[in-house]
Structure 1
Amino acid sequence: MSACRGGNGELADYTARLEALAIELGMDFYPVHFDLVPASFMLEIAVYGLPVRMRHWSFGVSYLHHLVRQHMGHSKIFEVMFPGDPCRAFMLEQNSLAENTLVTAHVLGHADFAKNNALFTRFIAMAGSNILEQSAARSNRLERALAAHGQQRVEAVLDAALALETHIDVDQPLHRDRYAEFVGLKSAAPADRFGDRYARLAGEADVPANHPAAQCASPHAAQGAAQRMPLPPRPEPDLLWFLAQYAPEMADWERDILLAVREEAFYFQPIHACQIMNEGWASYWHARLLREAHFLPPDLYLSAIKAHSDVVRPFASGQQLALSLNPYHLGFSMWEHIIERHGIEKARQICREEDDCGFIRNYLDSELAEQLDLFVYQARKDGDTSIVSRDLHAIREAILAPKFNFGAPCVTVSSVGADGCLELRHDHLRDGRGLDLAQAERVVEYVARIWRRPVSLHTVDFRGVIRVLPTRRNPP
């Protein structure tokens, strides 16, 4: 059963009755714990991503940005929900009763999605279902590291970790083994009687290694020996994992920070990969639950539906951002379209099996794209904006472009030299774009500090000219 803490009796009653209605309609979700919190607490969650998380200067910069937007009226966060067993939801205590009733129904939709979608269930199976408690434990470990090693040393590790937090390999498990150090034993070579006899002759040990007779025998003696694997044996996209496992002089507490950030990145990845589906699914269900919740007073229902209209409007913000796509609007429209044509069971199958890439490519059809007036546009530096395409394929790919590779450029560990130099390579052809070279140089410096050897990054600039970004100074 769900629980609502810090609220009034009416909201608690509506929460229980909405949950019962959701189960009656076939929804399946983990219990949800609701908490009413002040706006300052909600803002901190929006900035840090979690109620309790490791401290870093970049979060302070983000906090000021969100605070300014909030004071200007450009941002209001109604709720934040964290999937798990149980799910945890935080709602603004300043919300009206109608708004928090809507939020309650919306969160139940999120909880249903998180329990049944394959990406979410995979993470929960790998990492457990209590993200908030785990994050608090990681934060406590970081505080101990700060006390033991000082802010400067800890911040150097966090600079690199948070700069690389989206550079993970979601096709690999959260907990993965190091590479095999050697290639498997080769099968024995066919017997060579002459070589074997020569190897047993007196004085053979004195034959120089480069003597033809020694070279004749040595290949057969080496056939059964294992060969050392190159490092890495293949391009490695999981940069956080590789640094944590193979940095030559990294202390255990430093590895712990890298792996903690990586684990949180695995938690956030399904949220990023399924945002349109997830917000649309929650919006579909909150609309349906409100519509069928006959126990709600008419005035509260009308106020809640008004809030629903604001949530799923076409534009993500005010008119100044009218070209921004609202994931709530697109997802809600697509689920209604799918359910109308294929039924709720087909929708549930899609919910289980897809992420946003499959959802958009397979189920955003030309009819809905035309109905929603979707197009691809180009904004020039001089302020001129023009429509460049209404082609369905182009629309789909424009929507999905920010989701590719967790929103990060495709950078892999290419090799580690005999002197310990680390080489990174940017797959700009797969990415379809160059890097911000100034930002990339800063990240290379961050990595060099914790790798403690020279680091280079092979990429291209905005003209497509090949560039190699080396470490500008010797790492400490």
Structure 2
Amino acid sequence: MAKRSPKSKSQPLFTEVDWDFDTLNRTYDALEDVALKDLELDFYPNQIEIISSEQMLDAYSSIGMPLMYHHWSFGKHFVGHQHLYRKGARGLAYEIVINSNPCISYCLEENTMALQALVMAHAAFGHNHFFKNNHLFEQWTDAEGILDYLEYARKFIADCEESHGIEEVELILDAAHALMSFGVFRHRRPRQLSLKEAEEQRLERLKASEQNVYYLWNTIPDQDTDQQGDAALAKRKQNMQLPEENILYFLEQYSPVLRSWQREILRIVRNVAQYFYPQKQTKIMNEGCACFVHYHILNTLYEQGRITDGAMLEILHSHTNVVTQPEFDDPRYSGINPYALGFAMMQDIKRICTEPKDEDREWFPDIAGSGDWRGVLKHAWANYRDESFIQQFLSPTVMRHFRMFALADEAKNSFCTVTGIHDTQGYRHLRDVLALNHDMSFLEPDIQIVDADLLGDRCLHLQAVKRNGVELDPASKNKTINHIERLWGYKVELKEVENTV
């Protein structure tokens, strides 16, 4: 906790527990002043909305978006969250923030004024700055157009329900939602389209949606010699740009059985999946940035005498709850807390820049003692994702603080082996292992479409790469195949191969 200057004579922004809109406006202006003049943050215009607990539960159910199409799973999530909340088994988030322009922050009306100050600093400036500046969000999301696109998606799916029936639409949505994690481009960047351009392309697809498949069928030779068969396979893969990692995209383009409106639903679902993909890759950085920003801004206001002692104690209590790392034998333990690790690493970067030790000068010669912690942090927020951030900035100090060590757990052995401890070699191994555990390409199955024999049995061939010899879970594998078969219309085969890299 920062120390207040004895010369500070500024009036507190608020002294009461309850809030009103005048107090919110006054506090927001003070938070913004520190964010702009001290931290020099760059963020979208803010739209702060105060919502009830029921509305917060509703936002939970629709993955935090203010506009969303209808699906039974959202209602199921709403009932589940509501049941736990009313039993007291789960609290509600203090806020939800949306990567859009303007950036929308939902704050819970039950928050005290101190908590409203905390969540505004956290979401409206911390998350907002990260959304606007991180390279993944810049390249893969459209903050300007997401709300318009969701409005279009909701209307389109509602029209489909009216024209084709709710059950028909739900069958497509059920399969598409189940395959959502296989509906993103991980390695190539799709061109961002405006809503007008997207609508124009949709109308073009409506006119010639089936011709893509018919064209492919007509380009495959009829003869069946081995040489011509190999040439046909190569030509087929070239035409369909195989292998393809984005399964929903391939099904949207080439499924022999889907109608135009069903293809458009697949496109909507995979666009939503693509929008959220950067958030999956930056959980530690995004939450760490927001926690660091709110902590710095509120401590600065406290030093200026604009936050009272009582309010600051409440803020620090909530902050501590968020960044606490439970012990491994604590009932609350569920792995490393991304809030805790992100905040600790960013506080440590500030320490290395201002008060380095000899160890820091050895590990981080470029930034140790530079004094420019603001510049270092903003560079990291803009140019890294979780695994690369850990690889670059995780220090021995933080590893010791979290008491990290690495284990090798081989299925053939009845014991675990400690492979990384707190020594020079161990620190580097620990950093590599932790970074790998936050690499989405390692955490999610690598399943790609490798062939589709459209003139023969029309079987769709998929290939999954085993990692460390670990096979796919049989139950999940069979369910995935069933969902793909529903959208493809014919047999689907999934082969698992060893990783040769």
Same fold (TM over 0.5): yes
- Distance of aligned partners of 1:118 and 1:146 in 2 relative to their CA distance in 1, 3 Å threshold: same
Map 1:73-112 onto structure 2 (within 5 A): 73-107=89-123, 108-112=125-129
Deviation for aligned residue 1:410: 0.8
CA distance in structure 2 between the partners assigned to 1:78 and 1:229 by the alignment: 50
1:139 equivalent to 2:176? Answer no
- Distance of aligned partners of 1:354 and 1:145 in 2 relative to their CA distance in 1, 3 Å threshold: same
SS at 1:435 equivalent: coil
CA distance in structure 1 between the partners assigned to 2:51 and 2:22 by the alignment: 16
Equivalent residue, structure 2, for 1:30: 44
Task: Tell me: higher relative CO, structure 1 or 2? Use CA pairs within 8 A at least 6 residues apart.
Answer: 2
Equivalent residue, structure 1, for 2:133: 116
- Distance of aligned partners of 1:143 and 1:409 in 2 relative to their CA distance in 1, 3 Å threshold: same
CA distance in structure 2 between the partners assigned to 1:317 and 1:261 by the alignment: 37
Equivalent residue, structure 1, for 2:340: 329
The amino acid across from 1:103 in the alignment is V
- Distance of aligned partners of 1:84 and 1:42 in 2 relative to their CA distance in 1, 3 Å threshold: same
1:366 equivalent to 2:366? Answer no
Equivalent residue, structure 2, for 1:21: 34
The amino acid across from 2:460 in the alignment is L
Which of 443, 452, 464 is the equivalent residue of 2:480?
A: 443
1:428 equivalent to 2:466? Answer yes
- Distance of aligned partners of 1:131 and 1:230 in 2 relative to their CA distance in 1, 3 Å threshold: closer
CA distance in structure 2 between the partners assigned to 1:119 and 1:130 by the alignment: 16
Deviation for aligned residue 1:374: 2.2
Gaps of 5+ in 2: 1-18, 193-200, 202-211, 217-222, 224-233, 353-366, 368-372, 421-425
CA RMSD in angstroms comes to 3.2
CA distance in structure 2 between the partners assigned to 1:380 and 1:43 by the alignment: 42
The amino acid across from 2:493 in the alignment is S
1:304 equivalent to 2:315? Answer yes
Deviation for aligned residue 1:279: 0.5
CA distance in structure 1 between the partners assigned to 2:55 and 2:329 by the alignment: 25
1:279 equivalent to 2:287? Answer yes
- Distance of aligned partners of 1:249 and 1:119 in 2 relative to their CA distance in 1, 3 Å threshold: same
The amino acid across from 1:59 in the alignment is F
Deviation for aligned residue 1:440: 1.9
CA distance in structure 1 between the partners assigned to 2:167 and 2:300 by the alignment: 56
CA distance in structure 1 between the partners assigned to 2:410 and 2:90 by the alignment: 24
Contact kept, 8 Å, 1:377 with 1:385, in 2: the verdict is: no
Could you give the per-residue CA deviations for residues 131-175 of structure 1, whole angstroms, max 9, x where no partner exists? 233223211211111111112221121122111112122322334
Contact kept, 8 Å, 2:44 with 2:132, in 1: the verdict is: yes
CA distance in structure 2 between the partners assigned to 1:385 and 1:94 by the alignment: 49
Equivalent residue, structure 2, for 1:55: 70
CA distance in structure 1 between the partners assigned to 2:493 and 2:74 by the alignment: 27
Contact kept, 8 Å, 2:387 with 2:438, in 1: the verdict is: no
CA distance in structure 2 between the partners assigned to 1:157 and 1:435 by the alignment: 24
Contact kept, 8 Å, 1:240 with 1:258, in 2: the verdict is: yes
Contact kept, 8 Å, 1:272 with 1:403, in 2: the verdict is: no
- Distance of aligned partners of 1:386 and 1:103 in 2 relative to their CA distance in 1, 3 Å threshold: farther
CA distance in structure 2 between the partners assigned to 1:73 and 1:12 by the alignment: 33
SS at 1:427 equivalent: strand
- Distance of aligned partners of 1:353 and 1:240 in 2 relative to their CA distance in 1, 3 Å threshold: same
Could you give the per-residue CA deviations for residues 327-353 of structure 1, whole angstroms, max 9, x where no partner exists? 111000001111221322122111111
TM-score (norm 2): 0.74
Map 1:167-316 onto structure 2 (within 5 A): 167=182, 168-175=184-191, 230=238, 232-293=240-301, 294=304, 295-315=306-326
CA distance in structure 2 between the partners assigned to 1:345 and 1:20 by the alignment: 18
SS at 2:391 equivalent: helix
The amino acid across from 1:408 in the alignment is E
Contact kept, 8 Å, 1:316 with 1:326, in 2: the verdict is: no
CA distance in structure 1 between the partners assigned to 2:71 and 2:442 by the alignment: 22
Deviation for aligned residue 1:60: 3.6
1:39 equivalent to 2:69? Answer no
Contact kept, 8 Å, 1:378 with 1:385, in 2: the verdict is: no
- Distance of aligned partners of 1:386 and 1:79 in 2 relative to their CA distance in 1, 3 Å threshold: farther
The amino acid across from 2:50 in the alignment is L
Could you give the per-residue CA deviations for residues 267-293 of structure 1, whole angstroms, max 9, x where no partner exists? 101111111001001101100000111
CA distance in structure 1 between the partners assigned to 2:153 and 2:136 by the alignment: 23
- Distance of aligned partners of 1:350 and 1:374 in 2 relative to their CA distance in 1, 3 Å threshold: same
SS at 1:320 equivalent: coil
The amino acid across from 1:105 in the alignment is A
CA distance in structure 2 between the partners assigned to 1:385 and 1:104 by the alignment: 48
1:66 equivalent to 2:76? Answer no
Deviation for aligned residue 1:233: 3.9
Could you give the per-residue CA deviations for residues 408-442 of structure 1, whole angstroms, max 9, x where no partner exists? 3111001001332111111113x763222112212
Equivalent residue, structure 2, for 1:155: 170
Equivalent residue, structure 2, for 1:356: 386
Contact kept, 8 Å, 2:406 with 2:433, in 1: the verdict is: no
- Distance of aligned partners of 1:16 and 1:386 in 2 relative to their CA distance in 1, 3 Å threshold: farther
Contact kept, 8 Å, 1:174 with 1:263, in 2: the verdict is: no
CA distance in structure 2 between the partners assigned to 1:285 and 1:437 by the alignment: 44
Could you give the per-residue CA deviations for residues 17-63 of structure 1, whole angstroms, max 9, x where no partner exists? 11122111111111110101111221222232123322333334433
CA distance in structure 1 between the partners assigned to 2:344 and 2:495 by the alignment: 42
The amino acid across from 1:405 in the alignment is S
Identity %: 27
Deviation for aligned residue 1:448: 1.1
CA distance in structure 2 between the partners assigned to 1:62 and 1:395 by the alignment: 36
CA distance in structure 2 between the partners assigned to 1:65 and 1:316 by the alignment: 28
The amino acid across from 1:165 in the alignment is M
Count of residue pairs brought into register by the alignment: 408
CA distance in structure 2 between the partners assigned to 1:227 and 1:111 by the alignment: 46
1:9 equivalent to 2:22? Answer yes
Gaps of 5+ in 1: 1-5, 183-209, 211-225, 465-476
Contact kept, 8 Å, 1:33 with 1:89, in 2: the verdict is: yes
Could you give the per-residue CA deviations for residues 78-132 of structure 1, whole angstroms, max 9, x where no partner exists? 11111222101101111111111100110111111111111111124xx352423
Deviation for aligned residue 1:75: 3.8
